[in-house]
A and B are shown apart, each in its own frame.
Chain A
Amino acid sequence: MGLLSDPNRRKALTSLLTRLNTPIWGMPVEWLVKTMQARGLEVFTQSFTRTLPFPDENKERYMVRGTNIYGILRAPRAPRTEALVLSAPCSPDNSNNQAVGLLLGLAQYFRSQIYWAKDIIFLVNEHDLIGMQAWLEGYHHTNITGMDYTPLQGRAGSIQAALSLELSSDVITSLDLVLEGLNGQLPNLDLANLFHAFCQKIGVLCTIQGKLQRGDWDTAEGYTHAVQTMMLMVLKQASGRPWGDHGLFLRYHIEAASVRGINSFRQYKTDATTIGRLLEGMFRKLNNLLERLHQSYFFYLMPSLTHFVSIGYYMPAFGLLATILLLRALDLWVQLGTPAQVTEDGAGEVEPPSSPGVLSVLTPVVISHLTGVALYTLPVLSQETAVEHFPVSETEAVVLTAIAIYTAGLALPHNTHRFISGEGTEQGWRVLKLVALLYLAVLLGCTALINFSLGFILAITLVPAAACVTPHMPKALTALAMVLLSPGCTLLYCVFIFQELQEAPVTLPEGWMLFLSVISQGILDHSLYGSLVYPLLALLIYPCWLLLWNILFWK
């Protein structure tokens, strides 16, 4: 592989990088189009606009307008049926210019090679994920998030794999691989293996979750380190958000990963040429694929780049947790059935005379779900009203409304009972708990199949609460425990644990602010990219927890 071994090419790349380092306002669309065309690519642009439901304070954007530029390198004698994508986000603050420069350098080098069997798309997307979403929706002619974009002019068939490149400086110390995509989807494990193999071959330090691998697996420190890395992955996956630009490809069954350059204070630095060689190697490997990557795992957790925990190992852990719920439900079922058995012969299947009416069980179920619907819809809908009446920004309004509705739900048991005629019976709460247990078991089971981490984290907190709660426990103490185990508090702990694992611990107020921004990001992820975590929590998990809360206050 002789990329940039030629001094002229190296000079060209350097001049490119210098050009990119000069301050520019917005993305230099025309210059990029001209440069890509000069490299012999078929260049197309796509413009898009998107108004966010409320301002994104983390990235400081509300009305987004941008342009994606992509150049297609047509493979010789290929019928335009397969393609690979190399993308680099380009932002006005020049933070990713090195990646764009490297992308252009690679485009030039790739163009003069004859071995390509798949078309290669070089994509420079503006406004990171929003641009990527617009491009992918345009490419597949779908519209799931209400994005406004111009149709694409050029295509290259079905995309087989994609890499997204993020480099913040021209020299780096290590490369970080980001795998977690939208809704906790992961690319095929072979993509990670490919990356690791080439890092080893070329001699670049590679990390996952920003953590270097340790050699000592047997020692306690080594083990702890691996567990920390894996827990970071679990937390990231559970968040359901795309952790890099690659995350949106996974919806379209395109194996994708982000490669992120990290420049730390380590002595040994790697330059752009080496990263170029790494990418060239990966692309040549992907180019040689006769089939999509499928001969490996899609469900895995990685304690390091060389090791993974397969679904066969982690699923039983979740299965055991879920069994608690089922056993509890069975226990209740038997308890409910016993008095009926006592009343002689075949009358067993008839409901006992003291059985609660359907209404007394259905009412809490319906009411808690209505609260869930309110939690899902009201924050975004009522932001204007909130801004008018309170001195807060839109984003704060949305988040605080969500928290307010969440907290208001705690007052529900007292209100539910107004709808139920008469006193709740002993049988009543048992039936309700049976319903809640089965509901929770199904919910968690489905969640764990789609996004294991999310299902597992929810199971850890919700299963003890669901298993133990009865109306006969000391109210105040149990209520406190229940609140501490509620989904909202789980989210708060996750924020702190995540910061702790990332070795960036935060104080309580900082953590709280982070918690608020996480909520707003979750709502934004849902409306921008179709992440399912927020609706899952608001519409299903929270009402389920409210049912348990109801049982505690059953009269």
Chain B
Amino acid sequence: MAAVGVFALAALVLSCKCDSVEKPSDATGAGTGSEAERSGPAAASAGSEAPGGGAGAAVSLPDSCEEELLIRPLHSGDIYASFQFRTLWDTDFLHQGKKVSHYRLFPKSLGQVLSKFSVRELHISFTQGYWRTMQWGQPIVPSPPGAELWVWFHNTVADVDGNWKELTNVLSGIFCASLNFIDSTNTVQPSASFKPLGLGNATDHRFLRYATLPREIVCTENLTPWKKLLPCGSKAGLAVLMKSEKLFHSSFHSQAVHIRPVCKDWQCSSTAWELRQTLNVVFDLYTSGQGKKEWSLFKMFSRTLTEACPLASSSKVYVDVTDNPEGELFDLSPATSVLNTAVVLGDRRTYSVYDLTQKETFGQLRSLNLVLRWKGESGDMLRPLLHAERYVAGFGLQTGEIHTLIYNNHPYRAFPVLLLDSVPWYLRLYIHTLTVTSKTRENKPSYIHYQPSKDRLRPHLLEMLVQLPPHSVTEVTVQFERALLKWTEYTPDPNHGFYVGSSVISALVPSVVAMDTNNTQERPLFSSFFPTKEESSYFVRVYTEPLLVNLPTPDFSMPYNVICLTCTVVAVGYGSFYNLLTRTFQVEEPSQPLAKRLANVIRRIRGVPLL
């Protein structure tokens, strides 16, 4: 019965029927009609002709791409910048399985990977830092610290594990990351938490693989290959802003690649591959701005915008001005009258829109440098409706307890969440100690999927569906024992500790405002990542912090000392013994005196015996 419940929810969470996904593909067939619709709210905008032209160009060619930058001043005073690049590839090897050899905008390296490994959907993210939900609100595209990879394979694939192994190695090469460390000990097959985001209604989780590498450190060498996948590279368009020394001088950095099949038009008569590349950065103005709250594109990226990517059908910069309707909080220059309203994560937000495909945007200086000056202190942020944290309790190196706290800050609505926990085998979970409590009362999960670990083979997988009462904290605790590893299994720095990946909490959070389910209308890219199915709720995924756990670690210097000592003893002992045993001792004749030798010489000559 429980299983039925969860599948119902899973279907609710992310049922990916055609009608829910057709919306992103609208832009492909970007007719002037939809363009007009989009500029509807911004009727005052003068420039409906230029994007029309761009779209016209896109219509004639099969592939298309869009780029977009969202800038949101956060309540904490930080600046959140979110890039999204979407490339659509009008090919249909999803159904026919034919070889495709023609690439235009879609990167060939990824296209070949898709066809070779029969990938249906691929999501990969590299994140450095932890998204601070309590200060920053919900992110546009959530991701856990480190690397995360989840892939749906076609249901025709026979050897999923083999494909997965090869795929991770190939991706590791493409992104210059340690994805080759993904093996069976950190791969799981979640039964409900990760449903396909694109076309198709796959439910058989045998074709899903999910893995995280919480230790992965993201740096420039991961950014460069990521930039190379963009149609314009980092030569033109928004991508010129991506200077790595600025992007990595931030509080949070996350880059991701999402590939999924989508409908080309709203009837879903044909499908296309969608490649979404996202880059999310949070800049800390306190450290970089010497306490002054003022930012500009130049300050953040040490670049300004001069042109759109010529290949892109749409290229826009959105600045979130919801908190600043009268301009009392900050000044934004150059001012724009083009406003756009979108419902994002259960909240109606207003954005100033800068269309880079129009000449007027750049002004006389031929460059766009957005400047935002704070005037007053921003008010308090609304508490995010859902957030979570996790920690290890207890002390000593034998046992411990993992606590996961899930906060529902909604004043009167209860809602269910799916919790996914993947714990490495060397923390032996005592599943009988699993308790779920809300408001000091036991809260029995309606669905639990637990897959016990196998030593050195596979991790624990714990998935459950928990109903969160309104305005409450739900605490999930489970005790564990720390295993003693074999001495070769320790990492080179065992005293650093061992990582346990983030738990994943997926939920349909009740929305305050009606969500936009009208998928025929074109919306900004950032509001269309997760398909919305119903008006009353929106999908949120929350990642907790990873854990660093110390395992009992032997003193590795001691074997070294012992080896040194024994080697010395053996060398000295063996050497002298060997010497003693193998040497033959002979009594050496003392050398004869000179007179005797002379006498012998004479005797030899005479032929008489020597003395």
B600 adjacent to chain A (CB < 8 Å): no
Interface residues of A in 267-324 (CB under 8 A from B): 290-292, 294-295
B474 adjacent to chain A (CB < 8 Å): no
CA–CA, A290 and B135, complex, Å: 28
Contact check, B250 vs A81: say whether CB atoms are below 8 A apart.
no
Interface residues of A in 244-273 (CB under 8 A from B): 251-253
Interface flags for A74-97 (1: CB within 8 Å of B; 0: not) read: 101111111000000000000000
Interface residues of B in 285-301 (CB under 8 A from A): 286-288, 290-291
Contact check, A81 vs B287: say whether CB atoms are below 8 A apart.
no
CB-defined contacts of B499 to chain A, threshold 8 Å: 81
The 8 Å CB contact of A81, one of B132, B249, B403, B548, is B548
Stretch at the interface among A106-114, A170-178, A390-398, A499-507: A106-114
Interface residues of B in 530-578 (CB under 8 A from A): 545-550, 553, 555, 557
Number of interface residues of B (CB under 8 A): 46
Whether A292 touches B495, Cβ cut-off 8 Å, given contacts A42-B135, A77-B129, A157-B545, is yes
CA–CA, A112 and B553, complex, Å: 36
B496 adjacent to chain A (CB < 8 Å): yes
Stretch at the interface among B41-49, B174-182, B265-273, B390-398: B390-398
Contact check, A155 vs B391: say whether CB atoms are below 8 A apart.
yes
Contact check, B394 vs A111: say whether CB atoms are below 8 A apart.
no
CA–CA, A294 and B397, complex, Å: 15
Contact check, A77 vs B252: say whether CB atoms are below 8 A apart.
yes
CB-defined contacts of A290 to chain B, threshold 8 Å: 493, 496
Contact check, A80 vs B545: say whether CB atoms are below 8 A apart.
yes
Least CB separation from B129: chain A residue: A77
Interface SS of chain A: loop
CA–CA, A81 and B546, complex, Å: 7
CB-defined contacts of A77 to chain B, threshold 8 Å: 128-129, 248, 250-253
A140 adjacent to chain B (CB < 8 Å): yes
B145 adjacent to chain A (CB < 8 Å): yes
Contact check, B393 vs A140: say whether CB atoms are below 8 A apart.
yes
Interface flags for B138-167 (1: CB within 8 Å of A; 0: not) read: 000000011000000000000000000000
Whether A251 touches B395, Cβ cut-off 8 Å, given contacts A290-B493, A292-B495, is yes
Interface size class of A (residues with CB under 8 A): 20 to 34
Interface residues of B in 226-258 (CB under 8 A from A): 248-253
Q: How far is the CB of B377 from chain A (nearest CB, A)?
A: 11
Least CB separation from A157: chain B residue: B548
CA–CA, A142 and B145, complex, Å: 27
Whether A158 touches B284, Cβ cut-off 8 Å, given contacts A77-B253, A142-B395, is no
B130 adjacent to chain A (CB < 8 Å): yes
CB-defined contacts of B397 to chain A, threshold 8 Å: 253
B384 adjacent to chain A (CB < 8 Å): no
CB-defined contacts of A292 to chain B, threshold 8 Å: 495-497, 550
Q: How far is the CB of B99 from chain A (nearest CB, A)?
A: 42
Q: How far is the CB of A286 from chain B (nearest CB, A)?
A: 14
Interface flags for B486-498 (1: CB within 8 Å of A; 0: not) read: 0000000111110
CA–CA, A292 and B134, complex, Å: 29
Contact check, B287 vs A294: say whether CB atoms are below 8 A apart.
no
Whether A113 touches B287, Cβ cut-off 8 Å, given contacts A81-B548, A290-B496, is yes
CA–CA, A292 and B391, complex, Å: 18
Which of B291, B391, B394 is packed against the most chain A CB atoms within 10 Å? Answer: B391
Interface flags for A47-85 (1: CB within 8 Å of B; 0: not) read: 000000000000000000000000000101111111000
Q: How far is the CB of B579 from chain A (nearest CB, A)?
A: 33
Q: How far is the CB of B427 from chain A (nearest CB, A)?
A: 14
Interface residues of B in 104-140 (CB under 8 A from A): 128-130, 132, 134-135
CA–CA, A113 and B288, complex, Å: 9
CA–CA, A76 and B281, complex, Å: 11
A40 adjacent to chain B (CB < 8 Å): yes
Contact check, A79 vs B214: say whether CB atoms are below 8 A apart.
yes
B401 adjacent to chain A (CB < 8 Å): yes
B323 adjacent to chain A (CB < 8 Å): no
Interface flags for A132-155 (1: CB within 8 Å of B; 0: not) read: 000000001110000000000001
Contact check, A78 vs B130: say whether CB atoms are below 8 A apart.
yes
CB-defined contacts of B146 to chain A, threshold 8 Å: 79
CA–CA, A251 and B394, complex, Å: 11
B481 adjacent to chain A (CB < 8 Å): no
Contact check, A81 vs B129: say whether CB atoms are below 8 A apart.
no
B389 adjacent to chain A (CB < 8 Å): yes
Interface flags for B359-398 (1: CB within 8 Å of A; 0: not) read: 0000000000000000000000000000001011111110
Q: How far is the CB of B431 from chain A (nearest CB, A)?
A: 19
Q: How far is the CB of B560 from chain A (nearest CB, A)?
A: 12
Interface residues of B in 453-497 (CB under 8 A from A): 493-497
Least CB separation from B493: chain A residue: A291
Q: How far is the CB of A422 from chain B (nearest CB, A)?
A: 49
Contact check, A74 vs B497: say whether CB atoms are below 8 A apart.
no
Contact check, B547 vs A157: say whether CB atoms are below 8 A apart.
yes
Contact check, B496 vs A253: say whether CB atoms are below 8 A apart.
no
Q: How far is the CB of B449 from chain A (nearest CB, A)?
A: 26
Q: How far is the CB of A29 from chain B (nearest CB, A)?
A: 20
Interface residues of B in 199-220 (CB under 8 A from A): 214
CB-defined contacts of A42 to chain B, threshold 8 Å: 134-135
Q: How far is the CB of A312 from chain B (nearest CB, A)?
A: 12
CB-defined contacts of A251 to chain B, threshold 8 Å: 395
CB-defined contacts of B494 to chain A, threshold 8 Å: 291
CB-defined contacts of A142 to chain B, threshold 8 Å: 393-395
Contact check, B287 vs A111: say whether CB atoms are below 8 A apart.
yes
Least CB separation from B557: chain A residue: A295
Whether A112 touches B545, Cβ cut-off 8 Å, given contacts A80-B130, A141-B401, A294-B495, is no
CB-defined contacts of B553 to chain A, threshold 8 Å: 294
Q: How far is the CB of B136 from chain A (nearest CB, A)?
A: 11
Contact check, A111 vs B130: say whether CB atoms are below 8 A apart.
no
Whether A141 touches B393, Cβ cut-off 8 Å, given contacts A76-B284, A111-B287, is yes
Q: How far is the CB of A258 from chain B (nearest CB, A)?
A: 20
Contact check, A79 vs B550: say whether CB atoms are below 8 A apart.
no
CB-defined contacts of B290 to chain A, threshold 8 Å: 112
Contact check, A74 vs B391: say whether CB atoms are below 8 A apart.
no
CB-defined contacts of A157 to chain B, threshold 8 Å: 391, 545, 547-548
Q: Can you list 16 A-B pairs with a CB-CB distance of less than 8 A? A: A42-B135, A74-B132, A77-B253, A79-B214, A81-B545, A81-B548, A111-B286, A112-B290, A141-B391, A157-B545, A158-B497, A158-B548, A253-B396, A294-B553, A294-B555, A295-B557
Given A77-B250, A79-B145, 5 new contacts (CB under 8 A):
A76-B129, A76-B284, A78-B129, A79-B129, A81-B499
Across chains A and B, which 8 residue pairs bring their CB atoms closest together, nearest first? A141-B393, A79-B145, A77-B129, A291-B495, A81-B548, A80-B545, A77-B128, A291-B496
B-side residues, CB < 8 A to A, are: 128-130, 132, 134-135, 145-146, 214, 248-253, 284, 286-288, 290-291, 389, 391-397, 401, 403, 493-497, 499, 545-550, 553, 555, 557
